[in-house]
Structure 1
Amino acid sequence: MIAKLQIQLNSSLYLRDPQSSDLGQKIIKESIHLIDEIGFESFTFKKLSVKISSTEASIYRYFENKHRLLVYMIAWYWSYIEYKITFETHNISDPKEKLRIALRFITKKLNDDDYFEGVSESVLQRIVTNESDKTYLTKNVDDDNKEGLFKGYKSLCMTIASYIQEINPDFEFPHSLTSTCLEAAHQQIFFAQHLPKLSDIKKEEDIYSRNFDFISTIIFNSLQQ
């Protein structure tokens, strides 16, 4: 029997922790699939309530609006990626190897993880690729930031930046380089799939492997300067 794990997230992301009940877990599970199917713009709590055979009011007990639900899902994803990186680098001392492992995780195509019940990581990754910039490109970004809604993303950025600083303590822009590459990691996949003239990664290739090559080239070449 596989032990089930949970990602602990900032309580400001929700009104009631969805991981605390069967209904909350169902809301997250079906939201991921519904947003992947119809897109965030078309997604509504009314449509979700039909999907989960419940009421809109029951969903609003967990999340104040659909934007906060999306922020929760994206925050879960980045916290999950950091958890996997931390686990895989625990016994590794070479910062270059730790950085390569981190870059693998932010660029690879994910499979579903049996240790985390109710979340399809493979589907959630597609949402990150297609929708994640909508979590912070808003008028309320400063207020959301003060509430700690982007804590998971910033923590992942700081973890990877720390590997960069270990490799080259004199490099001036470790956090800028990391955040740029985190954004590029899913933007290039989106471009390859939908706006091919914006990327040299071709959708008929192994786009995830090529994305790793691209991101690795940017980071390691920058550190050699």
Structure 2
Amino acid sequence: MQNLLKNLKVVVHDKLYLKDPETSDLGKRIVGESITLIDDMGFECFTFKKLGDRIGSNESSIYRYFENKHKLLLYLTSWYWGWMEYRLVFATNNISDSKEKLKKAIDILSEEVKEDSTYSHIDEKALNAIVINEYSKSYLTKEVDKENKEGFFAIYKRLVGRVKDMILEAQPDYGFAASLASTTVEGVLHQHFLMQHFSSLTSCSKTVAPKDFFTDLLFSSLNLETHA
């Protein structure tokens, strides 16, 4: 899978940036260091001035790539979901059994993320932490409907759609496939957040992984037997 991914570029909506950061060394440093800073200090405290100081460049140079930090967050999270989609597709493409395919999808969505050497300027583990802690801030805004119409959440919605299709493949008569798919993708993030910050509110732990919970949730909801 790694060799195949090396030939792929994660395509992000072109209205999320003013200049494609993938086309220059400065753009890649802006993306890479913004991930580190947001992971370290949180989105609220993150500013383009702090990022400029970090990369040794003028704040104005960052504005040539991104209109504001909200668009940057949308770019980062869209990239993450695109990367996850590629991993999901490659990991399940050759699995013919629908139940095994669904189990593998749950594994991919819920497993602990490790850094992927394919994209040297992006720390996927730190980006995963940002998505867990900050993703809701990208859409819990007054502009969400407008941005949705613009297609800013298309990659995320496409990923959820793939999970929905796998659910229907495993159980064609299930009437809530879209709801279950979106609950799974979003719920994985929430369970990881609870494990880190509100451990008394989740049964997931060091010994019970989120994938165990969601495998049980999906297979119970779909009346499917779980293979060992």
3-state DSSP of counterpart to 2:209: helix
Residue identity in the other structure for 2:160: C
The Cα of 1:160 is off from its aligned counterpart by 0.8
Using structure 1 for the length normalisation, give the TM-score: 0.94
The residue number in structure 2 matching 1:211 is: 210
The Cα of 1:197 is off from its aligned counterpart by 2.4
The Cα of 1:117 is off from its aligned counterpart by 2.5
The Cα of 1:94 is off from its aligned counterpart by 1.3
Aligned residues: 220
The residue number in structure 1 matching 2:137 is: 134
The residue number in structure 1 matching 2:60 is: 57
Q: Which runs of at least 4 in structure 1 moved beyond 3 Å after TM superposition?
A: 2-5
Match of 1:163 among 166, 176, 181: 166
The answer on 1:111 being equivalent to 2:110 is no
CA distance in 1, matches of 2:127, 2:184: 19
Query: What CA deviation, in whole Å up to 9, does each residue of 1:185-223 have, x standing for no partner?
Result: 011111111112221223xx24xx510001111111111
- RMSD of the alignment, in Å? 1.4
Contact 1:5 1:115 in 2 (8 A): no
The answer on 1:188 being equivalent to 2:191 is yes
Contact 1:5 1:117 in 2 (8 A): no
The answer on 1:28 being equivalent to 2:31 is yes
Given the superposition, is the C-alpha separation of residues 83 and 44 from structure 1 closer, same or farther in structure 2, using an over 3 Å criterion? same
The Cα of 1:46 is off from its aligned counterpart by 0.3
3-state DSSP of counterpart to 1:58: helix
The residue number in structure 2 matching 1:147 is: 150
Q: Report the identity percentage.
A: 45
Query: What CA deviation, in whole Å up to 9, does each residue of 1:164-193 have, x standing for no partner?
Result: 011111111111101111111011111111
Contact 2:102 2:170 in 1 (8 A): no
Segment drifting more, 8-17 vs 45-54? 8-17
CA distance in 2, matches of 1:95, 1:60: 46
Question: Unpaired segments of 5 or more residues in structure 2?
Answer: none
The Cα of 1:5 is off from its aligned counterpart by 4.1
Query: What CA deviation, in whole Å up to 9, does each residue of 1:57-109 have, x standing for no partner?
Result: 11111111101101111111111011011111222211111111111111111
The residue number in structure 2 matching 1:75 is: 78
Using structure 2 for the length normalisation, give the TM-score: 0.93
CA distance in 2, matches of 1:193, 1:87: 29
The residue number in structure 1 matching 2:46 is: 43
Question: Unpaired segments of 5 or more residues in structure 1?
Answer: none
